[in-house]
Structure 1
């Protein structure tokens, strides 16, 4: 079997098996990134699927000299941005700013561990909503740097900004998240 370094080149030539191997190797990280971006697991699953479909349709334009995960992440970011725009339009048309599910599944006694778990779930849901509500210009660098562990220089190359702009955007995103969490009941 050829080494893994040849997989992107083979995929760029239309090799489905190579593309499948690349999908398997990247799907976990890609799903985590998209999940944090959109805040909903079902939506993230759909967007990951759309990302791979779009990647396959564009695979002949892929430059194997470029890291495959970076190319794939750029497609995912575009899919997430499209999803955000469509969601905003749907909200405006419906006049609804959010449909939060009620916390109705309290089972057993009010033991401290259960309360703590419920609080943790609420805080995580709040964080997910706050992340999803961030503007793309703040959300993308924050997620790439914190979730992906990329350097500011790497993020800057990926999104077409300077490392200083990335640093500033990340700081603004963190302040916005902190403010959203502080406003919560």
Structure 2
């Protein structure tokens, strides 16, 4: 198996097979990130395709000494921000109509009782909806640190802000989620600290 650095260098040189392999390796995690950011599965698939298309068009700009995953995630984050801005403008024009309602996350199969599964699904749905309504400057650091498990330093680098800014924004995002969820503070427990 080829090392990630060698694969990245080949992709940066325009090797389609290497780029395809990098796509295969990053697609699942990147889709989860985009899905959580936009709150809609179909929009997430569209944005994922846009991300990889933009990455391929700009592959010569990629510095193979840096991790490919961080580079592609930055592109995806920019695509999500663009999507959010366009969505905001559409909502303004149409009088505040929410065009993309969040879908409930699927509950994994298991031996849990149906009532427990329904309650868990409802809590996750409320959490997803609350997260999708966070402002982009708070949503991105929360998703990258709490959900994706990235360090504050890595998140700061991806977002182009200081580590302290990431820390502050994550804390604000948690407070906004807590306020939005109100009595359902158990839904917030699904977001890792």
TM tier, smaller: 0.7 to 0.9
Q: Distance in 2 between matches of 1:126 and 1:33?
A: 18
The structural deviation recorded for 1:114 is: 3.4
Q: Distance in 2 between matches of 1:116 and 1:124?
A: 12
Matching of residues 160-175 of structure 1 within 5 Å: 160-175=160-175
- CA RMSD in angstroms comes to 2.1
**Could you tell me which residue of structure 2 aligns to residue 152 of structure 1?**
152
Q: Distance in 2 between matches of 1:44 and 1:181?
A: 24
**Bigger share in helix:** 1
Going from structure 1 to structure 2, the CA distance change for 1:3 and 1:114 (only over 3 Å counts) comes to closer
Paired residues, what number? Answer: 175
Matched, 1:48 2:48: yes
**Could you tell me which residue of structure 1 aligns to residue 138 of structure 2?**
138
Q: Distance in 1 between matches of 2:79 and 2:56?
A: 14
The structural deviation recorded for 1:122 is: 2.4
Asked if the contact 2:145/2:152 (under 8 Å) is kept, the reply is yes
Structure 2: which 5+ runs fail to align?
Answer: 105-111, 185-193
TM-score under structure 1 normalisation? 0.87
Asked if the contact 2:141/2:166 (under 8 Å) is kept, the reply is yes
Q: Distance in 2 between matches of 1:70 and 1:31?
A: 14
**Could you tell me which residue of structure 2 aligns to residue 72 of structure 1?**
72
**Could you tell me which residue of structure 1 aligns to residue 23 of structure 2?**
23
The structural deviation recorded for 1:140 is: 0.8
Aligned residue for 2:63, secondary structure, equals coil
Moved over 4 A (4+): none
Asked if the contact 1:38/1:131 (under 8 Å) is kept, the reply is no
Q: Distance in 2 between matches of 1:7 and 1:148?
A: 23
Structure 1: which 5+ runs fail to align?
Answer: 104-111
Larger Rg: 1
The structural deviation recorded for 1:138 is: 0.7
Asked if the contact 2:5/2:64 (under 8 Å) is kept, the reply is no
TM-score under structure 2 normalisation? 0.83
Q: Distance in 2 between matches of 1:123 and 1:91?
A: 26
Q: Deviations over 1:60-113 (max 9, x none)?
A: 111111110010011000000011111111122222433659x9xxxxxxxx94
Matching of residues 117-132 of structure 1 within 5 Å: 117-132=117-132
